[in-house]
Structure 1
Amino acid sequence: MASNAPVGKPTDMSSPRLPKVAGIDSTVPAPPHTVAPLPGVPSAAPPSDAALPPGVLIQDRLASWVSDLTTLHELTERLIKTDSLDGALREMLGAGAALVGARRGMAVLEPADGLGPTSTIGLGLAHADLGTIETVPRGSGSYGRLLDGLSEADPPGAGLPGNGPTAPRRPARVPEPIAIRDVRTEEGLDPRHREVAARLGYAASYALPLATEEAGRLGAAVWLYDEPAEPDERRRHLIGLYGRFATEHLARLLQVERARARVATVAEELLPSRLPRVPGVRLAVRHLTGPQGGGDWYDALPLPEGALGLAVGSVSGTGPSALAAMGRLRASLRAYAVMEGEDPVAVLSDLELLLRLTEPARSATALFAYAESAQRRIVLAGAGHAPPLVVGDHRTEFVETSLSAPLGMLTCWEAPSVELSPAPGETVLLYTDGLLRRTGDATDRAFARLHAAASSVPRADRSDPGAVADHVLRTLLPGGLDPAVEGEDVVLLAARFE
């Protein structure tokens, strides 16, 4: 019946509507400034989306934004999983190539402060190709222009009063990206630039500064097109957002890399710069350290009456504090070894007392050997340390040492020493626990693997203690010591008796 038909507002509400997106009503009136075409003049063909309802346009735009945000989220998630400068640069290059629509590219890491490190990474370019690109005069190449432009910018804090450690920083000026749509027709390019582009087969490039106002200049990236092209406004926007995030991530990795380098330098300075030369004994050492630097150490020092002191040890903890404790412990052991080195038990007892008095919260392991090379006689004692391994043509066996607690664990440390006489041509291996634990095996299996590795040293290499140490390391740790993986250091000291 007519009386039951809906009228007024209910009729409007029941009319067909496009679905809502993100809470936005898809029924949007036409813009008020839209005017009808002039009479008698044919109207221009509307854009492809002009005939679509306004709600569909909004949905398309929202879908495009969501797609872009999803892409950036996925790419940045992949980037933050990288933990090295080289890995981050390679990931950034690949992601940037996808964003700008290129196939090849290169990234140049060149921090503005000049403290390094510097490197050049290629995507789809061989090492020789990178060298060819670097022959282009720096002022003509797009990445070179970006780096030089950033170099000429004011350094942070320049021109401000009280320029010092607490002075406010002036944000660095960041230049705009450089797009060369067609290398053949671009004005102002050096002829060498066109020649290299023709040789490598690229026709256009897009260069992005790896710099932000806070991080300053870290470098630049350039992507190469096979045909004349340049990214549109949307792609430029996306690569700009990604580039800023990548630069901040690279800045953090740069700080970590420099910190690791400083720790490694300190560790090297705290250890012997070279091994002594003692008649009748040939020495070799291998020291592998983790990213934060551990407390593993070694020493070899000449003692009175032609004797030789050999020591390896490990201090609990990592980082600068462990390195400092390691340096103090090693220096103390050297002093005790000079005074009473012929008695290794007395040396370690004095060391234990010093550790308890000066650093009661820290423990350490140590092994000290007093060697008389002329008599091929060794007296040694260990505190919580793994037993040495003797490697020769006729035997490969661990030295039977007494069990004892690490230094700093007992109120009074003392354990009996042991004596051994290596045969001519035999090598004694002293090592830290890190060599066993880095294998990832249980202790008994790690010892068995170490014994098997030492037994398998080729006969031709047994006359060289360095070759013996290298073979053992390659066998136990075939992939080497990953510097990005936290873990204990590895020390392997080899002494071959003639």
Structure 2
Amino acid sequence: MTTPHPPKVAGINPPAPAPAHTSSPAVPGPPAAPEPGAPPAQGPPADAPAGPSPARVVQDRLAGWVSDLTTLQELTERLSRTAGVEDALGELLRAGASLVGAGRGLVTLHPAAAHGHPVTVGLGLGHADLGHIETLPAGGPQGSGGPYAGLLDDLPPVGDRSGTVHPDIPHDSALDPRHREVAARLGYAASYALPLESAASRGEPADPTAAGRIGGAVWLYDEPAEPDERQRHLAGLYCGYATEHLARLIELDHARQTLATLREELLPRRLPRVPGVRLAVRHHPGADGGGAWYDALPLPEGALGLAIGAVTDSGPGAIAAMGRLRASLRAYAVMEGEDPVAVLSDLELLLRLTEPHRTATALFAYCEPAERKVVVAGAGHCAPLIVGGGRVEYVDTTLSAPLGMLACWEAPSVEIEPAPGETLLFYSDGLLRRAGGSADRAFARLHRAAASVPRAARHDPEAVADHVLRAVLPKDAAGAAGGTAADDMVLLVAHFD
């Protein structure tokens, strides 16, 4: 007996083929007595083949179960390695298509309003195809909702994960005529849909990531067809796991967005305009919610204060500490900004008294554009880079310990006299880490990037910032600047007219 092989799953050939699920043979009993006048019962011919033994049937069933479990394990492991919602939806579509034997599909996700916007991903469907599907009318209350509700309109009520099948759409008179028209236009003749439903809506124990029915998935067949009972069972189990994974990803994205909003609110909403200086900034927060920060504030008598720093650790605690540190530095800068060493000394004392277990780096520059003078002091932070027509060099701010590491912090300041047309670059150590390689190579790469700014762009701080980032950061597969997304990255550019 030749056992059928299941379709390959997302490039994986299951290690054990799934044997045919045969039914258990009937247990033989005593022969029934022949009726009066009936001819005597004839036994099977001597050379007739014997049927499968009960042991063989059990063995086949066990092999089928092992194959199904192996396939599900491979698929769920692939899904668990996805880190984003759209990646997970794409993997769900591919795995579901292999389980039910379909070629195309669509999944739509509509989390709660507070947790994000609807997301739709197609498999084997272009934008024009999705546009046609979006025109399907929605009629019932049980669908997944959203712009593609017409295709998922007849899903079962919440709590029922049996799915909905349309094995022959062209001849299904119960369907809306528009549905049959779209199916003919796109070339699909059957569909199988499953809800994406978390544990909370099924009456199971509460889970903090549970979000009820969050969407639906549908797979399309080019010919009239429908999945058998085994395929439906496997697809239902897989979609149940996938829904919980998606619910966790939605919660994680929501937490990251909340953290990013909090971080942005603690940083300057706009840069000040001070005669003689033009500013630009690029801030790319890391995925871990780091505490890198920057500031630019106008000071009395036409002066300008520029600051950049980073708080150790990551997460909400580091972001809150960053906000407190930046607010304190602004107050000290207004009171004694002309002496950057005094500003950082006061900041170190505050940090040591209020948060003795935390350290931070900081750099503060007091700029007098009319006098062409900049006084800089740093506490464990990267030295700024000055870029001009005749020089590209790092400013020697002397070595100093980060804030909170010594009983009494103090370091000398350094004075810079930028010529007209020169630019100062302040940056976080996250920029260097995203550049990759050792610290020396990262500093050299930043130096080369600053030196390679086109002459026509040197008077535009926005263009300078964009060029430096493109030259310093490694490129991803799409050619965009990438790097290690876990690190906060700040680049503050000050151009002196």
TM-score range, shorter chain: 0.7 to 0.9
- 2:442 pairs, out of 446, 456, 463, with 446
- Name the structure 1 match of 2:126: 126
Distance 2:220 2:25 in 1: 44
Q: 1:327–1:394: structure 2 CA closer, same or farther, 3 Å change rule?
A: same
> For 1:331-350, what aligned pairs fall within 5 Å after superposition?
331-350=327-346
- Name the structure 2 match of 1:282: 278
> For 1:295-374, what aligned pairs fall within 5 Å after superposition?
295-374=291-370
- Name the structure 2 match of 1:173: 159
1:30 positional shift: 4.6
- Asked if the contact 1:147/1:219 (under 8 Å) is kept, the reply is no
Q: Flag as ranges the 4+ runs of structure 1 deviating above 4 A.
A: 32-42, 140-143, 145-150, 480-483
- Asked if the contact 1:174/1:213 (under 8 Å) is kept, the reply is no
Letter in 1 for 2:490: V
Distance 1:204 1:349 in 2: 73
**Counterpart of 1:297 in 2: which secondary structure?**
strand
> For 1:49-198, what aligned pairs fall within 5 Å after superposition?
51-112=51-112, 115-139=115-139, 144=149, 173-174=159-160, 176-198=162-184
- Name the structure 1 match of 2:452: 456
**Counterpart of 2:367 in 1: which secondary structure?**
strand
**Counterpart of 1:275 in 2: which secondary structure?**
coil
Distance 2:152 2:340 in 1: 59
1:257-313 superposed Cα distances (whole Å, 9 cap, x missing partner): 111111000000000111111112111111111222100000001111111111000
- Asked if the contact 1:290/1:481 (under 8 Å) is kept, the reply is no
1:112 positional shift: 4.2
Distance 1:233 1:415 in 2: 75
Is 1:471 matched up with 2:467? yes
1:418 positional shift: 0.8
- Asked if the contact 1:294/1:488 (under 8 Å) is kept, the reply is yes
Letter in 1 for 2:488: D
1:145 positional shift: 5.9
1:52 positional shift: 2.0
1:235 positional shift: 0.3
Give the aligned CA root-mean-square deviation in angstroms: 2.7
1:390-443 superposed Cα distances (whole Å, 9 cap, x missing partner): 122332211121110000011111111111122222221100111111222111
TM-score (structure 1 length as normaliser): 0.84
- Asked if the contact 1:112/1:217 (under 8 Å) is kept, the reply is no
- Name the structure 2 match of 1:23: none
Distance 1:425 1:325 in 2: 36
**Counterpart of 2:192 in 1: which secondary structure?**
strand
- Asked if the contact 1:178/1:206 (under 8 Å) is kept, the reply is yes
Identity across matched positions, percent: 66
Letter in 2 for 1:424: P
Distance 1:491 1:130 in 2: 39
**Counterpart of 1:240 in 2: which secondary structure?**
helix
- Asked if the contact 2:288/2:487 (under 8 Å) is kept, the reply is no
Q: 247-256 or 469-478: which moved more?
A: 469-478
- Asked if the contact 1:290/1:482 (under 8 Å) is kept, the reply is no
Distance 2:485 2:239 in 1: 29
Distance 2:188 2:30 in 1: 45
1:72 positional shift: 0.5
Q: 1:334–1:224: structure 2 CA closer, same or farther, 3 Å change rule?
A: same
Letter in 2 for 1:210: L
Distance 1:476 1:55 in 2: 67
- Asked if the contact 2:115/2:250 (under 8 Å) is kept, the reply is no
1:33 positional shift: 7.1
1:318-351 superposed Cα distances (whole Å, 9 cap, x missing partner): 0000000000000000000011111111100000
**Counterpart of 2:371 in 1: which secondary structure?**
coil
- Name the structure 1 match of 2:199: 213
Distance 1:254 1:203 in 2: 33
- Name the structure 2 match of 1:264: 260
Q: 1:32–1:134: structure 2 CA closer, same or farther, 3 Å change rule?
A: same
Distance 2:304 2:362 in 1: 17
Q: 174-183 or 120-129: which moved more?
A: 174-183
1:359 positional shift: 0.4
- Name the structure 2 match of 1:226: 222
Letter in 2 for 1:258: H
1:17-48 superposed Cα distances (whole Å, 9 cap, x missing partner): xxxxxxxxxxx985257988998999xxxxxx
- Asked if the contact 2:311/2:361 (under 8 Å) is kept, the reply is yes
Aligned residues: 446
- Name the structure 2 match of 1:252: 248
Residue ranges of structure 1 left out of the alignment (5+ in a row):
1-27, 43-48, 154-171
- Asked if the contact 2:152/2:193 (under 8 Å) is kept, the reply is no
Residue ranges of structure 2 left out of the alignment (5+ in a row):
1-23, 43-48, 201-209
- Asked if the contact 2:292/2:309 (under 8 Å) is kept, the reply is yes
- Asked if the contact 2:191/2:220 (under 8 Å) is kept, the reply is yes
- Asked if the contact 2:170/2:189 (under 8 Å) is kept, the reply is yes
Letter in 1 for 2:51: A
**Counterpart of 1:192 in 2: which secondary structure?**
helix
Letter in 2 for 1:144: A
- Asked if the contact 1:344/1:417 (under 8 Å) is kept, the reply is yes
